[in-house]
Amino acid sequence: MNHKILIIFMLFFYNCDIPLNSSDSQIIYIESFRTNYSLESDSIYIELKIINYNKVTSITSLFSDDGGLIDTLNINDLGLDGDIIPNDGLYSIKFSLNNFQYGKNYYLENIISGNDQLLIENRIINFEENFIPEIIKIEYPSIFYLGISNWDTLDINITIMDRNGIEDIDHALYLINSDFLTKDYSYTEECDHYVLSPEEYLGYQTDPSWILQPDSVLNDSTIVYKTSIPTRPSNDCGGYGPVLFKFIIQDKVGESIQNNDEIVVEILSCGDSTCSEESPYYECSQCPDDCIENINCLEESDCSNNIDEDGDGNIDCDDPDCIGDIFCE
């Protein structure tokens, strides 16, 4: 189970005894604050980013609830418990909390002293349970036919459910493995359609721009995301072969989920030696080399040899291909 933190209220109190000749380089203040609860370790992590931290002598945090003080914490900058680098201005601590409750208000009072200054900051923190988004359905074509001369788009839809609400979804990203798709040399005029060797495989690739866009809202917790991926036409040496996809859905807390099932789309194109009658794209006249052995693409070439050359059961002048032939007039 994963969790998110909702800081429902922040209130700052400053009680600073600052020398009159002080400057910004002398004033201690909190630049950022972060906290998280881990169910696995049953612990709370607190982190403060301090400006002019070299002036700090101590940071004490009082952690309490409506029943009173729970613990007094001495926050340090030793590079422990999630703070990787020591003495970098990130003060942190991780501590266990008995009888933790979601939806309950906790109070944090940070007392920072140093350089003749005293900074007191108060926060009210409320931890809410976070549910990782779920991929309900992925809609994609198992076979995709490249256009002959025009660019086309490969459309993929993903239905996502987030029990925290669709506004909790940060983004949906796709990754592509095109290692098995034929390639084309840029320095040749012909379509090469060569295949990578295993040593050249790159695996799954992605880019920050490969983001699916919200398409339709089904209800408060379910939404459909969509992407339309441009595909190079076959006349422009568009590659063919299997393409593999992965999808990563991340919420605003940073928790993410990835599809477990392998998504494979078979790309078909002229020149791939595949003749399919399921698509009007594969007419015999458009991909003759692919369909040379397709019986439906053969013609009765000799209308006087008493042979059914196209195998359609009609011989010579009885075959529609021989209409208008001089021998059949």
Which CATH code for domain 2-130?
Answer: 2.60.40.10
Residue 274 — very low, low, confident or very high, per pLDDT cuts 50/70/90?
confident
Joined tokens for residue 203: 């695996």
Triad 24, 27, 29: Cα angle to 5°? 115
Joined tokens for residue 180: 């098995």
Q: In this predicted structure, what is the pLDDT of residue 18?
A: 43
Residue the block writes with tokens 């949906």:
172
Q: In this predicted structure, what is the pLDDT of residue 17?
A: 46
Quick check: do 2-130 and 134-268 share a fold? yes
Percent of the chain with pLDDT over 90: 39
Q: In this predicted structure, what is the pLDDT of residue 21?
A: 43
Radius of gyration of the chain from Cα atoms?
33
Q: In what order do the strands lie in the sheet with 29-38?
A: 29-38, 43-51, 90-96
Residue the block writes with tokens 């034929």:
182
SS3 200: helix
What are 40-90's pLDDT values in tens digits?
A: 778 888 889 999 999 999 999 999 999 999 999 999 888 776 666 788 889
* Global confidence as pTM: 0.57
**Cα 166 to Cα 118: distance, rounded to the nearest angstrom:** 43
Mean pLDDT score, 84-110: 87
**Cα 59 to Cα 93: distance, rounded to the nearest angstrom:** 11
Which CATH code for domain 134-268?
Answer: 2.60.40.10
Judge residue 49's burial from the number of C-beta atoms within 10 Å of its C-beta, 0-12 exposed, 13-18 middle, 19 or more buried: middle
Enumerate the domain spans of the chain.
2-130, 134-268, 298-329
Residue 188 — very low, low, confident or very high, per pLDDT cuts 50/70/90?
confident
Task: Inform me whether the pLDDT recorded for 10 exceeds 50.
Answer: no
Residue 169 — very low, low, confident or very high, per pLDDT cuts 50/70/90?
very high
Mean pLDDT score, 219-226: 96
Higher pLDDT, 255 or 159: 159
